[in-house]
């Protein structure tokens, strides 16, 4: 006859957190900034993350994507400010930039 299993015992066997999930301290270490800076980035919505209870979390992949996209945006802005018509044209064609009507 099958024995009854203890569901709580089964849950205890699961590893607590993946290395892919980062808290504020781990995110700060990855970005080499202070925890306060990470809190500010999360609160402003600039850095992707979720608040779970009283704790902010994100994933390593999300942080790396954020770094790549923000550096690409910065590069584009610098090229456009330099007056590179080709950079602006490429950005418009790829959908990386849009023209807003005045008013």
* 23: three-class secondary structure by DSSP: strand
Q: What is the DSSP-derived secondary structure letter of residue 75?
A: H
Instruction: Read off the tokens for 57.
Output: 């979390």
User: Phi/psi at 68 (nearest 5 deg)?
Assistant: -65, -45
* Residue 1 confidence class, pLDDT cut points 50, 70, 90: low
Structural domains of the chain ordered from first start: 17-94 (1.10.1660)
The more confident residue out of 13 and 39 is 39
Answer whether residue 15 shows pLDDT above 60.
no
The pLDDT tens digits of the residues spanning 76-102 come to: 777 777 887 777 777 777 776 677 777
Report the predicted TM-score, pTM, of the whole model to 2 decimal places: 0.58
Q: What is the DSSP letter of 3?
A: P
Q: With 60 as the cut, is the pLDDT of residue 11 above it?
A: no
Mean pLDDT of 32-58: 94
């Amino acid at each position: 006859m099958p024995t009854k299993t203890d569901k709580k015992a089964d849950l205890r066997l699961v590893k607590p957190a993946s290395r892919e999930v980062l808290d504020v301290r781990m995110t700060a270490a990855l970005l080499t900034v202070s925890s306060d800076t990470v809190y500010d980035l999360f609160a402003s919505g600039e850095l992707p993350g979720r608040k779970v209870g009283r704790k902010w979390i994100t994933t390593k992949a999300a942080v790396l994507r954020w770094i790549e996209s923000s550096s690409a945006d910065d590069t584009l802005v610098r090229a456009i400010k330099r007056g590179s018509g080709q950079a602006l044209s490429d950005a418009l064609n790829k959908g990386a930039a849009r023209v807003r009507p005045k008013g």
